[in-house]
Amino acid sequence: MDRVDIKRLAEKLNLSTSTVSRAFRGNSDINPETKARILSMAKEFNYQPNHYASNLRDKKSNTIAIIVPELANNFFSQAIHGIERVAREKGYYTLIYVTDDEYEKEVMFIEKLYNGRVDGIIMSVSGEANDHAYLNKRGAKSIPLVFFDRVYDDIDVPKVTTDDYTSSFDGTLHLIEGGCKKIAFLVVNKSLSIGNIRMQGYRDALKDAGIPFDERLVIDCSNDYSKNYGILTEMLREQRPDGLFASVERLAISSYYVCHDLGIRIPEDIKIVSFSSLEIASLLNPALSTITQPAYDLGTNAAELLFKTLEGKTEVKDHIVLSSKLIPRKSSVVV
Amino acid sequence: MDRVDIKRLAEKLNLSTSTVSRAFRGNSDINPETKARILSMAKEFNYQPNHYASNLRDKKSNTIAIIVPELANNFFSQAIHGIERVAREKGYYTLIYVTDDEYEKEVMFIEKLYNGRVDGIIMSVSGEANDHAYLNKRGAKSIPLVFFDRVYDDIDVPKVTTDDYTSSFDGTLHLIEGGCKKIAFLVVNKSLSIGNIRMQGYRDALKDAGIPFDERLVIDCSNDYSKNYGILTEMLREQRPDGLFASVERLAISSYYVCHDLGIRIPEDIKIVSFSSLEIASLLNPALSTITQPAYDLGTNAAELLFKTLEGKTEVKDHIVLSSKLIPRKSSVVV
DNA sequence: TTGTAAGCGTTATCAA
DNA sequence: TTGATAACGCTTACAA
């Protein structure tokens, strides 16, 4: 009554297990009629070859892992969507891991994965810590890895990112052109490559405009909403900037809350631009000017890079860079 | 150099594989010193017991599947978060599947899963079709299933939902009390239990208030944004309702776009209430009145129900109902 | 075209 | 406390 396995199916059909097995693999020689008979019986009994047995035999899991810092975020859900499309096409399963931006979880996930559970890993790093050595340990090398968006520069694997420098430069320039003289830069972890590069774009745009860089306007935030609320409230009170460049969506959101509560008007008193994949950016009060990354494409590109490596096509050490789009909306434009 | 397996480890340690294996299971008798030796060597070589071999042996995958209609949606990301917390505590992996609201994918996923890949399934159904028979096929019964939020009533498995009837009733009442006389009900699939129950709450609230039910005000939408834009534009032009009850978040979003474009003022011309887990509902223009479901708790409850079944504690056929919260904001309140 | 048999890496049982 | 062995379900050489 329970699970039907290949043996039972073979018995019922008066065939050997090998013949039955052959019906399920594409390549092997098998009489079309026999194959049809087998498949129809398999269907009737709802038989599916046991995944674990096949994988043990083949030393191949047909599964890839996706590791992201968070799920409740349009950027990552879109990227995952992209990865999954490609994976599905290739007949692969996807296993999703969420680190909640905790370095320990990231390490734990990766180390666990050395058990052969997956054939490859696509990751956007948490970046909470600076020790990436765990990725170089014995065993690590045996499983292909691809980074997307948030990467560790010192780890030599294929990467897919966006043109963070250019778009940060442009976003900052947009604020300057709007008349901002004192622009704060909001970042979560400026030592993480992404924060770092984005800050560089910001700095250079200021420089080009002859605005001196002021360390006090670089605001190091956290991933915690209530902490950020405090940090931003203090900053807005003390520094009174007239522009805000949020290097991460959640910091723009927090800024909105703080501005609303402090009675600071957007964009009249302060203009805001943010990296964001929010689909409803234009419905916010006021509509949020965004730098929008091609999240879905980042996903498909990362997946394709991984599969290339998996298929041994090349020893890929590529770094693909896609372009983001600056979409000015009301938060940075006085009408 | 490659993968280290238990045999290699045993050789290096001059022990048998069984002894090495014992070092990794909690129960077995083993000399503490030997165990320590084994574990330290395992650590050095980054050894992890092969997942597929263990699972084949044990006929147990320590994995559960989560099947949801979409990912880019706070409700589901929060629910998944809840499920994962519980799963992690129990030492289980989670496999996430996204159906994109397509019935075929749902069926395909489930049928694939009969291959022993997972020990249990937690699903929020797509509800695109009305044939749920595939869940009763041979093999289906062998793998425990729990529904959450979007369920098939005719399938007898444990379920976790929210008090959809009551909150729809209350949400509609809220609009009526705000002076609405002509309230449209926006739904994606009214034959799906969730749409059906929510509509019942809406109908009964109207009835209580002595407002006649009008079939033309029940708007059957799709999952496609641009289609919905058309549907809603037409409806708003022709019916000119003064209230909108969105049974699903995305329909409220579309309504906002349409209202903005048609110059219909919210809440002056039309008041809106929507089921929604949007964290930034209060930042919208205008702030959106929501019925917010306890998504995270739905997740944890569903997971706990599944694990109860898995642990054979009971032949659970429970239906847990949690309460949502009506949060009136500007979209339904003229100040 | 089909069948036989070995082996994938583990772990539980039994014996030592 | 440790070791030998069989078995989990499947696939693939090789033989028939």
pLDDT digits (tens, 9 = 90+) for B10-38: 998 999 999 999 998 877 688 888 999 99
Distance of CA A38 to the CA centre of its chain: 42
Protein-contacted bases of chain C (C-beta within 7 A): 1-5, 7-13
A15 in contact with nucleic chain C (CB within 7 A): yes
Instruction: Quote the tokens at residue B328.
Output: 């009136």
Q: Residue B214 pLDDT > 70, yes or no? A: yes
Higher pLDDT: B191 or A53? It is A53
Give me the pLDDT at residue B1, please: 36
Tell me which chain A residue has its CA closest to the CA of residue B78: A72
Give the distance from residue B115's alpha carbon to the nearest chain A alpha carbon, in angstroms. Answer: 5
pLDDT > 70 in chain B, percent: 96
Question: Chain A partners of B3 at a C-beta cutoff of 8 Å?
Answer: 116, 139, 142
CATH number of B6-49: 1.10.260.40
Residue B285 sits at the chain A interface (C-beta within 8 Å): yes
Q: Does the predicted TM-score (pTM) go above 0.95?
A: no
Give the distance from residue A182's alpha carbon to the nearest chain B alpha carbon, in angstroms. Answer: 25
Interface of A with B in 34-73 (CB under 8 A): 44-53, 55-56, 61, 71-73
Domains A6-49 and A164-293 fall in the same CATH topology: no
pLDDT digits (tens, 9 = 90+) for B153-189: 888 899 999 999 999 999 999 999 999 999 999 999 8
The number of C-alpha atoms within 13 Å of B326 and in the hemisphere containing its C-beta is 20
Question: B163 with B149: CB under 8 angstroms?
Answer: no
B31 in contact with nucleic chain C (CB within 7 A): no
Q: Length of chain A, please?
A: 335
Element (H, E) at B110: helix B103-112
Q: Least CB-CB distance to B116: which of A51, A95, A140?
A: A51
Give every CB contact of residue A323 below 8 A, 6+ residues apart in sequence.
A162, A163, A166, A167, A294
Q: Residue B223 pLDDT > 90, yes or no? A: no
Give the distance from residue B35's alpha carbon to the nearest chain A alpha carbon, in angstroms. Answer: 20
Element (H, E) at B160: strand B159-162
> Measured between alpha carbons, how far is A206 from A189 in angstroms, rounded to an integer?
20
B57 in contact with nucleic chain C (CB within 7 A): yes
Distance of CA B232 to the CA centre of its chain: 26
Q: How far is the CA of B5 from the C1' of D3 (A)?
A: 18
Asked if B94's CB is within 8 angstroms of A81's CB, the reply is: no
B10 in contact with nucleic chain C (CB within 7 A): no
Question: Chain B partners of A112 at a C-beta cutoff of 8 Å?
Answer: 48
Q: Residue B323 pLDDT > 50, yes or no? A: yes
Question: A62 with A278: CB under 8 angstroms?
Answer: no
Mutate to test the interface with B, among A8, A39, A94, A115 (most CBs of B within 10 A): A115
Instruction: Quote the tokens at residue B230.
Output: 């058309």
Q: Residue B279 pLDDT > 90, yes or no? A: yes
Residue B4 sits at the chain A interface (C-beta within 8 Å): yes
Q: What is the 3-state secondary structure (H, E, C) of chain A?
A: CCCCCHHHHHHHHCCCHHHHHHHHCCCCCCCHHHHHHHHHHHHHCCCCCCHHHHHHHHCCCCEEEEEECCCCCHHHHHHHHHHHHHHHHCCCEEEEEECCCCHHHHHHHHHHHHHCCCCEEEECCCCCCCCCHHHHCCCHHHCCEEEECCCCCCCCCCEEEECHHHHHHHHHHHHHHCCCCCEEEEECCCCCHHHHHHHHHHHHHHHHCCCCCCHHHEEECCCCHHHHHHHHHHHHHHHCCCEEEECCHHHHHHHHHHHHHHCCCCCCCCEEEEECCCCCHHHECCCCEEEECCHHHHHHHHHHHHHHHHCCCCCCCCEEEECCEEECCHHHCCC
Asked if A114's CB is within 8 angstroms of B48's CB, the reply is: yes
Under-70 pLDDT residues of chain A: 1-2, 28, 128, 138-141, 314-316
Give the distance from residue B72's alpha carbon to the nearest chain A alpha carbon, in angstroms. Answer: 5
Question: Chain B partners of A51 at a C-beta cutoff of 8 Å?
Answer: 115-117
Please choose, from the candidates B72, B119, B134, B140, the residue with its C-alpha nearest in 3D space to the C-alpha of residue B100.
Answer: B72
The fold of A59-162+295-322 is Rossmann fold (3.40.50)
Give me the pLDDT at residue B139, please: 58
pLDDT digits (tens, 9 = 90+) for A151-194: 998 888 999 999 999 999 999 999 999 999 999 999 998 778 88
pLDDT digits (tens, 9 = 90+) for B58-97: 889 999 999 999 998 999 999 999 999 999 999 898 989 9
A55 in contact with nucleic chain C (CB within 7 A): no
Give every CB contact of residue B161 below 8 A, 6+ residues apart in sequence.
B147, B148, B149, B151, B194, B298, B319, B320, B321, B322
Question: Chain A partners of B80 at a C-beta cutoff of 8 Å?
Answer: 71
Q: Least CB-CB distance to A48: which of B55, B78, B114?
A: B114
In sequence order, the β-bridge partners of residue B235 are none
Alpha-carbon dihedral sign for residues B321, B245, B67, A63: negative
Asked if A61's CB is within 8 angstroms of B56's CB, the reply is: no
Instruction: Please tell me whether residue B220 adopts helix, strand or coil conformation.
Output: strand
Instruction: Quote the tokens at residue A96.
Output: 């999703």
The number of C-alpha atoms within 13 Å of B287 and in the hemisphere containing its C-beta is 16
> Measured between alpha carbons, how far is A173 from A153 in angstroms, rounded to an integer?
27
The fold of A164-293 is Rossmann fold (3.40.50)
Higher pLDDT: B4 or B249? It is B249
| Residue spans per domain, chain A | 6-49, 59-162+295-322, 164-293
Mean pLDDT of chain B: 92
CA angle A15, A40, B59 (to 5 degrees): 70
Give me the pLDDT at residue B127, please: 73
Question: Chain B partners of A95 at a C-beta cutoff of 8 Å?
Answer: 93, 95-96
Give me the pLDDT at residue A316, please: 61
Q: How far is the CA of A39 from the C1' of C2 (A)?
A: 17
Q: Residue B315 pLDDT > 70, yes or no? A: no
B60 in contact with nucleic chain C (CB within 7 A): no
Question: B65 with B121: CB under 8 angstroms?
Answer: yes
Give me the pLDDT at residue A1, please: 36
Residue A149 sits at the chain B interface (C-beta within 8 Å): no
Q: How far is the CA of A60 from the C1' of D9 (A)?
A: 15
Question: A120 with A64: CB under 8 angstroms?
Answer: yes
